[in-house]
A and B are shown apart, each in its own frame.
Chain A
Amino acid sequence: DAGVTQSPTHLIKTRGQHVTLRCSPISGHKSVSWYQQVLGQGPQFIFQYYEKEERGRGNFPDRFSARQFPNYSSELNVNALLLGDSALYLCASSLSPDRQGVLGYTFGSGTRLTVV
């Protein structure tokens, strides 16, 4: 059974550009969360989606947006990229928010975004 799949694995963008990152959760998982991890820091919560609805939002600017599709896959969009957006973007899936507390997240390997 496939784990959490993220694409692309690496990406280089120029300041001011837009980027779309994609995530496919584990089969049967309906909740997807996005995290940003800057080198040397822990993951920072960006969004959580469950059943296509936003269930949680972290302290990130409106340049960050996301959505979840009927097949439970998800996209994270970042507009007007800044140098400080360079990070590893992690997608995590779980059966549901309440089951996340029991079983934990399953993370993908992430997308390494570099903004130049």
Chain B
Amino acid sequence: SQKIEQNSEALNIQEGKTATLTCNYTNYSPAYLQWYRQDPGRGPVFLLLIRENEKEKRKERLKVTFDTTLKQSLFHITASQPADSATYLCALDITNTGNQFYFGTGTSLTVIP
């Protein structure tokens, strides 16, 4: 069956450290992968997109890598802050048409002051 898996355990890190979140997928060949942030009781907020021909993408303190051979994306937050505490979701378009995006289960990140 088709799956998108993220770190099942919540991630707790000390302020200032780098948080690394994992997104693994099977049975897809996505043209791109997206990362979202979700705060409790709110809808997800789009953060970054990385295409299959891009190995790495950066935006301020965020960095995303995409390994289509391993079928894995890594999401890094450097110099983490308590305000980064949230659930982070990865999403794939399984049809590569923009019509059907599937989300992972999300990873809860807590940054401890």
Interface positions of A (Cβ within 8 A of B): 4, 31, 33, 35, 40-45, 48, 50, 55-56, 58, 90, 92, 94, 96-110
Contact = CB atoms under 8 A, between A and B. Distances in A.
A9 to B, nearest CB: 10
Which range contains the number of B residues in contact with the other chain? 20 to 34
Contact of A100 (B43, B98, B104): B98
Interface in B47-75: 47, 49
A55 B6 CA distance: 27
Contacts of B44: 43, 90, 105, 107
A7 to B, nearest CB: 14
A106 B46 contact: yes
A108 B100 contact: no
A101 B106 contact: no
B101 A100 contact: yes
A31 B101 CA distance: 13
Q: Is the interface of A mostly helix, strand, loop or mixed?
A: mixed
A42 B46 contact: no
B99 A55 contact: yes
A111 to B, nearest CB: 11
Contacts of A92: 43
Contacts of B100: 45, 48, 56, 58
A104 B89 CA distance: 13
Contacts of B36: 104-105
A110 B36 CA distance: 16
Contact of A43 (B46, B97, B103): B103
A55 B47 CA distance: 24
A101 B32 contact: yes
A101 B31 contact: yes
B18 interface: no
Contact of A42 (B41, B49, B89, B93): B89
A108 B34 contact: no
Interface string B93-113: 101011111111110000000
Given A42-B89, A43-B89, A103 B46 contact: yes
